[in-house]
Structure 1
Amino acid sequence: METIINKGYQFKIVPTELQKEFFLKSFGCARKLYNHYVDTLYTYLDSIGYENGFIKAKEIPLDSPAFMKKVFPYLKEVDSLALCNVQIHFKNAIKKFNDEYDKKSYTKRSLKRKCTLRVEPTFRDLKGMPRFKSRKNNDFSYTTNNQAGKKNDWHYIRLENGMLTIPKLKTSIKVKQHRPLPKDAIIKNATIRMDYRGNFHVSLCVEYTIDMKPTPSKKCLGLDYAQQDFYADSEGRKANYPHYYQKAEEKLVKEQRKLSRRVFGSNRWKKQKVKVQKLQLKVANQRKDWLHKTSYRLAQEYDAIMVEDIDLRAMSQGLKLAKNLQDNGFGMFRNFLKYKLEEQGKQFIKIDKWYPSSKTCRFCGKVHEELKLTDRSWFCPHCGTEIADRDHNAAINIREAGSALLAW
């Protein structure tokens, strides 16, 4: 059975000075157009007296990129597809605000400003509301698309022999290609990005077809999220996640304290900011490396994996759970696990978040409604069996519930 796979590849690129100048122009034009759309949104919401709630995206009078080129002629110097992607990203930001946020909660920063400065929050302070981009926050990126030619050859974006070709740029870019793309892969789009150190990277979204044979789900595993151990599986094992942020927190606090004492915008402030960013990037890379290796190992060993569809965003609002949950990166882990399993014809199943996996006795199937979060071990009031490990019990229940949803 032929299956279409979409996958991302990221490489470091080494542009020339002229290519860097083109990229910086593209970053600035993309940021300019996005900020224009945000300003149009704010003006429209002001005109209708909006306070909170659903935003009707179709009623926002957005100017097309073609019209904006007439207003700002310098936009013609960059790739037109990059400007079209800005409009798409802005519409996606509004859609995300409508779909994923409650549209009435304000950011912590605005609530703090209300307590200290007595400044009432407005709709601009709503969580998830599209905001202006700034070069001070390292908003240096733009996306361009590939297009099929007359012969359906998809030649506008090409990666051959370590050289990358993209639209509007006449010369090829040198790429540090550390791994090859899949055979007969089509590059659908490319995102050029510059980090805080001035290094450039390209992210390629490729599409390719593989002959996939569904794997019979003989070996299944259930995973229950655990705040301290990352996860507990149905076989009684703990992930023992090395808390990278906690290990680097003491050093990070010292560097951030130095940054707060520098004069904002000064040369010393900029140098100190780079030190803080390097520490944060190291923690992020360590976390991502561990998540990739763990998800790969599980995807190789099991035919089907079941996890609970917990609301991580809601959990991160708690004062006691937020920092550790953000350090874990469990949402990223689920995404890694999903695509690694699907590439091999295996199954990834999410169990409904309201399923009482922790409160259900795995022996008799009865639900213990009075069970509290602090009860790590308990006796079943129906059959009298001792549940020694709450997380292990939940992982087994998740595996059993997911087994009923297997496709084969």
Structure 2
Amino acid sequence: MRSEKTTLIWVVMMPMIRTQKVRLYPNRHMVKALDRLCDYRRYCWNEGLATWNDMYDLHTFDSNSPRPSAYSVRNELVANKADWQYELSARTLQLAIADLGNAWQNFFDKSQPDWGKPAFKSKKAARQGFKTDRAKIAAGKLRLDKPRGTKDWYDIRISRHVDLSGVLKVVSVYRENGKYWASLPFEVELDVKPQTGDNSAVDVNVGHLNYTAGVVNTLPKRLRKLYQRIKFYQKQLTHKRIVNGNKATKSGRYVAMRSKLQRDYRRATNIQHDIMQKFTMDLVNNYDKIVIEDLSVKAMQMSHVASKGLQRSMFGYFRQALSYKCKWYGKKLILAESQYPSTQRCSKCGHIKSGNDKITLQGNTTHRTKHNEYVCYSCGAVFNRDENAVANLLDLI
């Protein structure tokens, strides 16, 4: 009898955080409660940031003074709590200061997509929110932790059934355009994707992403139409403010047009996120090792050459989504150094262009080549510029 070989594939279960976004429908009592918590979160953040700055100034002038930290700032705010603060959830203050500490840590890492110095939050911001780690899903509704002494407290109806199950972590609740939303992160067990034996590299560009299997358009026609409409609304709102001054924002037409502008911004963001989520999922499903460039997006946007295109192409969000999905499914993400000459290097002979031979966004004026052409002056090879960059990135595996 012929013996048959059987291959056993062991599937490893790993705990990961997956988030589901839902719409909230609070009653009139909970609307007031959510608004108060949003205001309290902003108050805690601003008070914590002011205390952090004061403690840092004191440490600068007196080295014996302790350096500010999330722990020391939190203790300072808790010690000086007013009576009205005890009517609100204590976890709002705790989590606000914890996020402030993370924001200061991210300030020293320019690779973060939202890199920047922590700033004071304004009550005029379009989005206001708070966090809690004591929320529960009870009978298909969201149940927040009830503060001490509160009578009117109810579960909040959500827009749809929660598909995920597991341990509910820190819930983010926020208000935007008069609507309430919640991000529900669950700790779930995820299956590690099977190994495919294939590798890929992604070359990011304004408007499209190139990889080994083709091109992904990040600015489709429907998205460009949305941006044209956004531009029109912005011009109309600016014109109303110039003509009517401070009275413009109080008119009904201004408020209606601003709501349309915010609606289109939300639609554009949803389209961009959908493209990036589907593309990153396709990468982790089909490839074991993925190479991308470690770009400093913030520094590139400061050049004003293609800052708007860079912002709309969502390089930072792409890297963020691909990073956590590679961790989820056991795939390897390789970051090429920001100075790696993927565009200037010939993938055939390894020659690197320099001086007047370099390719720019306009191509090469010396040799009269287009921006999407790569001509090697050492071996004579001719490539598509983006395909050549992808091949160079693949050489790093």
- The 5 A counterparts of 1:15-164 are 15-43=26-54, 57-58=68-69, 62=73, 64=75, 65-69=77-81, 72-100=82-110, 128-146=116-134, 157-164=135-142
Structure 1 portions without partners, runs of 5+: 102-126, 147-156, 404-408
How far residue 348 of structure 1 moved from its aligned partner, in angstroms, is 2.8
Structure 2 portions without partners, runs of 5+: 1-11, 148-152, 365-371
Please name the residue that 1:396 is paired with.
Answer: 391
SS in structure 1 of the partner of residue 353 of structure 2: coil
Please name the residue that 1:282 is paired with.
Answer: 267
The amino acid across from 2:329 in the alignment is Q
> Which of 348, 352, 359 is equivalent to 1:372?
359
Quick check: 1:3 aligned with 2:14?
yes
Query: Which deviations, in whole Å up to 9, do the C-alpha atoms of 1:209-258 show, x marking residues without a partner?
Result: 3453x633512111111224x211234x2223335654333322332222
Percent of pairs with identical residues: 21
| Whole-angstrom CA distance in 1 between matches of 2:237 and 2:60 | 40
| Whole-angstrom CA distance in 2 between matches of 1:130 and 1:301 | 39
How far residue 139 of structure 1 moved from its aligned partner, in angstroms, is 4.2
Quick check: 1:267 aligned with 2:251?
yes
Residues 306, 128 of structure 1: alpha-carbon distance in 2 compared, 3 angstrom cutoff:
closer
- Asked if the contact 2:277–2:321 (Cα under 8 Å) also holds between the matched residues in 1, the reply is yes
Q: Pairwise CA RMSD of aligned residues?
A: 2.8
Residues 95, 346 of structure 1: alpha-carbon distance in 2 compared, 3 angstrom cutoff:
closer
Please name the residue that 1:315 is paired with.
Answer: 300
SS in structure 2 of the partner of residue 92 of structure 1: helix
Residues 190, 63 of structure 1: alpha-carbon distance in 2 compared, 3 angstrom cutoff:
closer
The amino acid across from 1:17 in the alignment is R
| Whole-angstrom CA distance in 2 between matches of 1:393 and 1:251 | 36
How far residue 83 of structure 1 moved from its aligned partner, in angstroms, is 0.9
The amino acid across from 2:215 in the alignment is K
How far residue 272 of structure 1 moved from its aligned partner, in angstroms, is 3.0
SS in structure 2 of the partner of residue 30 of structure 1: helix
| Whole-angstrom CA distance in 2 between matches of 1:240 and 1:62 | 46
How far residue 194 of structure 1 moved from its aligned partner, in angstroms, is 0.8
- The 5 A counterparts of 1:211-290 are 212=192, 215-228=194-207, 230-235=208-213, 237-243=214-220, 246-260=224-238, 261-262=240-241, 263-264=245-246, 265-268=249-252, 269-290=254-275
- Asked if the contact 1:44–1:60 (Cα under 8 Å) also holds between the matched residues in 2, the reply is no
| Whole-angstrom CA distance in 2 between matches of 1:173 and 1:60 | 32
- Asked if the contact 2:190–2:329 (Cα under 8 Å) also holds between the matched residues in 1, the reply is no
Quick check: 1:353 aligned with 2:354?
no
User: Which has the larger displacement, 271-280 or 308-317?
Assistant: 271-280
> Which of 175, 186, 193 is equivalent to 2:167?
186
How far residue 287 of structure 1 moved from its aligned partner, in angstroms, is 1.4
SS in structure 1 of the partner of residue 209 of structure 2: strand
SS in structure 1 of the partner of residue 395 of structure 2: helix
Give the total of aligned pairs: 354
Please name the residue that 1:172 is paired with.
Answer: 155
In the superposition, the TM-score normalised over structure 1's length comes to 0.78
Residues 310, 128 of structure 1: alpha-carbon distance in 2 compared, 3 angstrom cutoff:
closer
Please name the residue that 1:153 is paired with.
Answer: none
Residues 378, 255 of structure 1: alpha-carbon distance in 2 compared, 3 angstrom cutoff:
closer
Please name the residue that 2:9 is paired with.
Answer: none
> Which of 348, 352, 357 is equivalent to 1:363?
348
| Whole-angstrom CA distance in 2 between matches of 1:253 and 1:26 | 34
The amino acid across from 1:10 in the alignment is K
| Whole-angstrom CA distance in 2 between matches of 1:282 and 1:82 | 30
